[in-house]
Amino acid sequence: MGGRLSRRPSARLAGVTADPEPPAPATRRWTAIDSAAGGLALDLGLYAAAATFAGITAATSTLTPHRAWGALATAGYLLAALAVAGQFLARHRHAGTPLAGLGARWAVTGFAWATTTLLPLVTQSVQRAAGRTDRAQEEVVVVEHAGTRLAEHGTPYLGHDAIAALPPGEQLLGYTPYQPGMALFGLPRAVADAWWTDARIWFALVTAVVLAAAVATLRTVPGQVAPGRGPAVLRGVQAATVLPVCALTLATGGDDLPVLALCLLALALAAADRPGRAGLAVGAAGALKLFAWPVAVVLVCWAATRRAGLRAALGALGLPVLALLPALLVDRDALVENVLRFPLGHGLVTSPAQSPFPGHLIATALPAGRIVAAALLVATGVAIAARLLRRPPRTAVTTALICGYGLLAAILLMPSTRFGYLLYPIALLIWAPALAGRPALHRPGIRATSATRPAARA
């Protein structure tokens, strides 16, 4: 070895940050686009494209809540685009002006979320409380009914016979294809019939609080430039708030946004090297909806590389199990009917989630198409599992990328899916750059291993 530095650094080098790997060409291209004109170019493109999407939705959507959202959101996105255009002019005339800086971009993002999500949401909730039955998607009614059943019977689920006894037009609303924790958002409606007890109001409140906690957590990541308020963090927040697929979903339905926000918080906690708390956050998401379970598995694999796999798994897997126990004890058959049989297509009615993605097209157009689509989905899952076993993610960034691409593949290949589910992979992939801290100490030639990182915290 004679004077040569070992390839396996000792634990005494803890805290030394490794040389970053050269970014991939796609990453360099994204960075160039994202940073053009101090980020304002992509901001302008985002709000302009979103205004176009909202306008088309207002004019052509067959869903009344979507049209109502589009009518208000179009104006909000246009105002945000005009604000960014003003920032462009200010930046051109006065270099370094705060009007075009990061703080001003955060302010425009907040304004855009208020006008394109919160305003339509509150408007539709008030109109619904006044008697308009066409101001909420079906999932809002389902969650509120689940909350009422939870308060009255101890389980959010109706059994097979109870659903069969409903009129045919109401049987779909009798199913609650969510995890038991989702019913908590319907509890306010069980107490009072008012606009503020609309489940979407509580979806929005929880989403805002959790996203704020995620941003605050990123401020603790060592070495971040402008901790917690960097351009990458802003872009990640935009992806979870003002992106049209997220804004539309929260204003008209909303059940996916708290789940997404908790997943983003879990990844932020992973970036801050807190595997125990990351497990609790993703476990809370898993107690709401199955979509968080793949994220939980990947996060546990990440934690295992920190020798904290069990600690993370206690929250990531334990919380969903604890949420299921009361419903299991009260009415096991009702739980199975809603959580397993209906999503798998064996309920009394079929899910209306039929967006024309490859899995759905294969399932409907080919002989034995559902089997083919299911086989492709299973093969994708096996490939991801093999990747996790062979090379488990060692950073929060890699964890987010695996989750994002994995969910994207699953959504595209599922026989029954919704366009709105794309909010999960889009937000996760855009959130990934916000999870990378800058090196606090740089020494050429030292590569990262688990020994070079500080001990994992809870």
What is the residue-level pLDDT of the chain in tens, covering all 458 positions?
A: 444 444 334 333 333 333 344 455 666 676 777 777 778 889 999 999 999 999 999 999 999 999 999 999 999 999 999 999 998 888 777 766 677 788 899 999 999 999 999 999 999 999 999 999 999 999 999 999 999 999 999 999 999 999 999 998 889 999 999 999 999 999 999 999 999 999 999 999 999 999 999 999 998 887 554 443 588 899 999 999 999 999 999 999 989 999 999 999 999 999 999 999 999 999 999 999 998 999 999 999 999 999 999 999 999 999 999 999 999 999 999 999 999 888 877 888 877 767 778 887 887 888 877 788 888 889 998 999 999 999 999 999 999 999 999 999 999 988 777 888 999 999 999 999 999 865 433 333 334 433 344 445 55
Distance separating alpha carbons of residues 374 and 125, to the nearest angstrom: 38
Distance separating alpha carbons of residues 294 and 288, to the nearest angstrom: 13
Distance separating alpha carbons of residues 5 and 13, to the nearest angstrom: 12
Structure tokens at 344: 């798998």
User: With contact defined as beta carbons under 8 Å apart, do 164 and 171 qualify?
Assistant: yes
Instruction: Give the global pTM.
Output: 0.87
Distance separating alpha carbons of residues 109 and 52, to the nearest angstrom: 17
User: With contact defined as beta carbons under 8 Å apart, do 316 and 300 qualify?
Assistant: yes
Distance separating alpha carbons of residues 29 and 21, to the nearest angstrom: 16
User: With contact defined as beta carbons under 8 Å apart, do 116 and 247 qualify?
Assistant: yes
Q: CA geometry: angle at 412 spanning 410 and 418, to 5°?
A: 100
| Residue 68 Cα distances to 112, 134, 193, angstroms | 17, 10, 22
How distant is the alpha carbon of residue 94 from its chain centre? 38
Distance separating alpha carbons of residues 19 and 441, to the nearest angstrom: 10
Distance separating alpha carbons of residues 217 and 262, to the nearest angstrom: 12
Structure tokens at 24: 């991939």
| Residue 55 Cα distances to 9, 109, 115, 125, 332, angstroms | 57, 19, 14, 21, 46
Distance separating alpha carbons of residues 256 and 10, to the nearest angstrom: 44
Ordered by start, the domain boundaries in the chain are 38-135, 136-353
Nearest CA among 437, 370, 379 for reference residue 410: 379
User: What distance, in Å, lies between the first and last C-alpha atoms of the chain?
Assistant: 38
User: With contact defined as beta carbons under 8 Å apart, do 237 and 215 qualify?
Assistant: yes
User: With contact defined as beta carbons under 8 Å apart, do 176 and 147 qualify?
Assistant: no
Diameter over CA atoms, the chain: 83
